[in-house]
Amino acid sequence: MTGTLTEERFKEQCEALVAFSDKINDGWEMRRDLDDIYIVKKVKLPVVFRDDNNKNPGVPANTISVKEAESDDDSSEDQITLEDSDPCPFSPSSHLVTFEYHVVYSTSYTVPVLYFNAWFSTGKLLTVEEVWKLAPPCSDRYSYITQIEHPILARPFYELHPCRTEQLMGQMGSSEGDTYLVSWISSMGRDVGLSLDVRYAMSGT
């Protein structure tokens, strides 16, 4: 069962996804570069970096509920600054990280590919080690998240290697229908903080 997607279907599904995103104010944007289109989403998330002793095994990278803050402020995500928390990125305290996700079609793999960058509120980009800490410890994150040149923008982004995509999406058998992109984003994004609102699955997008 093929796990690939034609470029034409990719474009159609991007348009449908962005149209629905506009309805629910979810922030996906369409970008065009000559004949290529890709979609982009920017989001700020409080992130807890697991330390190597796995003290926070149950905390997903995209958790919205901030773990017990050191301060007694009515600390919403927005109030966390690096000055308040332990500046060491490997500590278990929360950091507000801006993520920018790009979904770009790969003509060589004939699947979408997820690129992203992430930076702290100071503007400092996350290092590759910090990015690896975002993915669940059980997955082989060192191999499949790498830093690479964005195929359209030609500047460094982190990339989720498309090798896993065909294998996983092949199991879902959604190449024929209209649901590939929704399946794909919800599957691939979960390791790096990108979640998809359940309403996309209800929209018939």
Partner 1 sequence: MVEENGKQDETASETSKKKAPAVSSEKIAVVLRNVGNAPILQKQKYNVDKNKTVKWMSNWIKGKLKLQENEQVILYIAQQFAPPIDQHVGNLFDCFGTNDKLVVQYATQPAWG
Distance CA 183, CA 171 (A): 11
- Reply yes or no on whether 163 is catalytic: yes
Closest by CA to 191, choosing from 90, 68, 101, is 101
Distance CA 174, CA 119 (A): 33
Residue nearer to partner 1 on the CB measure, 21 or 174: 174
Residue nearer to partner 1 on the CB measure, 19 or 163: 163
**In terms of C-beta density within 10 A (0-12 exposed, 13-18 middle, 19 or more buried), how is residue 32 classed?**
exposed
Nearest distance from C-beta of residue 190 to partner 1, angstroms? 6
Nearest distance from C-beta of residue 123 to partner 1, angstroms? 27
Closest by CA to 102, choosing from 153, 178, 48, is 153
Which residues of this protein are in contact with partner 1, per CB under 8 A?
A: 1, 58, 60, 62-64, 136, 138-140, 143-144, 163-164, 167-168, 170-172, 174, 177, 179, 182-183, 186-187, 190, 195-196, 198, 200-202
Residue nearer to partner 1 on the CB measure, 69 or 172: 172
- Neighbouring residues of 66: CB distance < 8 A, sequence distance ≥ 6: 46, 75, 76, 77, 80, 94
Nearest distance from C-beta of residue 169 to partner 1, angstroms? 10
Nearest distance from C-beta of residue 180 to partner 1, angstroms? 8
| Active site residues per annotation | 163
